[in-house]
Amino acid sequence: TDAEMKARLPKKVYNEVKACKLDKGSADIVAQAVRDWAIEKGATHFTHVFEPLTMLTAEKHDSFVSLPDEDGKVMMDFTGKELCESEPDGSSFPSGGIRDTSRARSYTSWDMTSPIYVKEDAIGTILCIPAAFCSYTGEALDAKTPLLRSMDAVSEQGVRLLRLLGNTTSTKLTAGVGPEQEYFIVDRDKYLQRDDLVFTGRTLFGAPAPKGQELDDQYFGVIPERVGSFMKELNEELWRFGITAKTQHNEVAPGQHEVAPIFSVTNVAADSNLLLMDTLKKVATRHGLVCLLHEKPFAGVNGSGKHNNWSLSTDDGINLFKPSKKPETDTRFQLVVGCVMKAVKKHALLLRTAASNPGNDHRLGANEAPPAIISIFLGDQIGGVVDQIIEKGYADSSIPAGMLDLGVKECPAVDKDPTDRNRTSPFAFTGNKFEFRMLGSSASVASPNVVLNTAVAEALAQFYKELEGTAPEDMETAVHELIKRAIRKHKKVIFNGNGYTDEWIKEAEERGLYNLVSTPDALPQFIADKNIELFTKHSVFTKEEIYSRYEILLENYVKTINIESKTLQEMLTKDFIPAVNGYAAEVAVNANEKKALIEGLATTAEESIVKELTEASNTLSAKVAELK
């Protein structure tokens, strides 16, 4: 925590860490303070924790132990260099062709803006240092580096535009991200009986239970005792890490739940979400349970997503997405809405790509998650303001927030939001933030936020260009004209209706909005010329980095499908077909024995079972051969 740093570091060094400007001498001082703090907590090892392009966390532990001195005494050593960097053998991480296998060197570098923590489990206590990861030649091989670059881009462009609008106080603009995490909890012994769950994270076949989610009785229902004791330990673990676990509840499907922390700065939110996913799995195992983070573990009931709540705030506390009480006269807010509309409309396919993975292909557009079409929901209040701007060029009224009287004196009147929710929209305005609802439960939040930050940075840059050079006395008129132009130009991206209907799919097509239904459809967008231009212009990715990621994502898709295919073959060959044949044979033998006992006895039921199962077995065998 900040308090711990303040207490343990000289003021000058503390300020250097906060400013991310650390000289070598200061790095040693910080390292000693960090070491002492960690050893007090029982740490024996340290590690940089990074997110290579497997999109999972990676760590390599080193103990604090150093060579014994002349008296044979082992010192617990930790230098500034060890704090700031490490050089792991990177050859076995995906690099998407950036480097040949024989060239192994890569580096991690401490992210000074994401809190250091200690992790305590069966292996002992480990000091964990969040870090970025790059190749020997400096290309980013991780999720964090582009995320940090995109945060800089949006900050730079945002502050520049705010200055033009007369702001003199803000020096930084940061995105706050609050990821809501959905997951399934299942019994570990039963899980281990399912090769498909173990190898692919989802059931490849099976029959639904007689009772699913049709009674709507799970959502927010009483949390089962066994899951409750898991959640209690989960919260304690998360709070110990400094992750502000806040909200928990049962989700729609049986065995499905959600946890959400309080939002934080994007890179911290991304690191925390990875740690949260690791912790979900670890704590579940301790309770004889398994946490499934796959987007669609079971057919026939809802799958799991991750909602990326996202807002832009300045370092002096202005949330750009929070309208004033009268949004019809809030020029800055209207400009920001125009900016988000432009960014989302122009880079819809990139956002779609950022939500793509093989698991999420089972959800998007399948009547439980937003469709694969990107649109924005603004709600009645802001939508109303935008409609007026489209129609007459300005807005002069808006639906006020009000009180909702339940009509019973026993309950207090409710402070009502000016806008209802829309759970079918992939990109919904929720009062002071946007909720990007398309993401899959297993995904890192890094990619979508790289896209959001960069797309918005570009829109901000273009707005700046349009207003640059305007005389101060003309600025107000120029801003109004810009708002009008932007909102009118990008109005097609606004959709306030039900996104789950076929009518919307048709309408979206008429509007010229894209509907890329699968990961292979979406991924090529990543290397489209205009997106390469966008990312390189804002120094978020180099061209090589973009191509390497494209390679890795495609390869990951192909390999995932291949693992599913091999698992299917194995289960069919080893379990399924033998069981079908065995039962058919058992029924046949029984029928014959019955007939031998009572002459002329009809065994039509047995015969039809034997016939049906034998035919099924033949079909299965033929299909397995085909699949192979």
Write out the residues near ligand ADP by the rule CB under 6 A: 176-178, 180, 247, 260-263, 309-311, 319, 432-433
Q: Report the alpha-carbon distance of residue 173 to residue 585 in Å, rounded.
A: 71
The least CB distance from residue 319 to Mg ion, in Å, is: 20
176 binds, among ligand ADP, Mg ion, none (CB under 5 to 8 A by kind): ligand ADP
Query: Does residue number 111 form part of the binding site for Mg ion (CB under 5 A)?
Result: no
Interacting stretch for Mg ion, rule CB under 5 A, among 92-100, 179-187, 205-213, 276-284?
179-187
Query: Does residue number 361 form part of the binding site for Mg ion (CB under 5 A)?
Result: no
Residue closer to ligand ADP, measured from CB, 307 or 549: 307
535 binds, among ligand ADP, Mg ion, none (CB under 5 to 8 A by kind): none
How is 336-387 classified by DSSP, letter by letter? Answer: HHHHHHHHHHHTHHHHHHHT--TTGGGTTTSSSS--SB--EE-HHHHHHHHH
Residue closer to Mg ion, measured from CB, 219 or 464: 219
Residue nearest to ligand ADP (CB): 178
Residue closer to ligand ADP, measured from CB, 88 or 176: 176
The H or E element spanning position 568 is helix 543-571
3-state DSSP call for residue 90? coil
Interacting stretch for Mg ion, rule CB under 5 A, among 174-182, 263-271, 485-493, 617-625?
174-182
Residue closer to Mg ion, measured from CB, 88 or 440: 440
The least CB distance from residue 134 to ligand ADP, in Å, is: 29
The least CB distance from residue 358 to ligand ADP, in Å, is: 26
309 binds, among ligand ADP, Mg ion, none (CB under 5 to 8 A by kind): ligand ADP
Q: Report the alpha-carbon distance of residue 116 to residue 241 in Å, rounded.
A: 9
Residue closer to ligand ADP, measured from CB, 251 or 361: 251
Residue closer to ligand ADP, measured from CB, 176 or 358: 176
Among 82, 180, 328, 606, binds Mg ion (CB under 5 A): 180
Q: Report the alpha-carbon distance of residue 458 to residue 204 in Å, rounded.
A: 42
- In 10 A of CB 438, how many CB atoms? 28
Contacts for 623 with CB less than 8 Å, ≥ 6 apart: 572
The least CB distance from residue 260 to Mg ion, in Å, is: 5
Q: Report the alpha-carbon distance of residue 449 to residue 51 in Å, rounded.
A: 15
Distance of alpha carbon 584 from its chain centroid, rounded? 47
The least CB distance from residue 309 to Mg ion, in Å, is: 9
Residue type, 408: V
| Of 284, 342, 328, 354, nearest in space to 143 by CA | 354
Which tokens is 437 given? 């609802």
- Percent helix, percent strand, percent coil in the chain, to nearest 5: 50, 15, 35
The least CB distance from residue 436 to ligand ADP, in Å, is: 11
CB 424 within 8 A of CB 410: no
- In 10 A of CB 504, how many CB atoms? 20
Residue closer to Mg ion, measured from CB, 257 or 332: 257
329 binds, among ligand ADP, Mg ion, none (CB under 5 to 8 A by kind): none
- In 10 A of CB 461, how many CB atoms? 19
The least CB distance from residue 430 to Mg ion, in Å, is: 11
Residue closer to ligand ADP, measured from CB, 437 or 549: 437
Query: Does residue number 435 form part of the binding site for Mg ion (CB under 5 A)?
Result: no
Q: What residue ranges bind Mg ion (CB under 5 A)?
A: 180
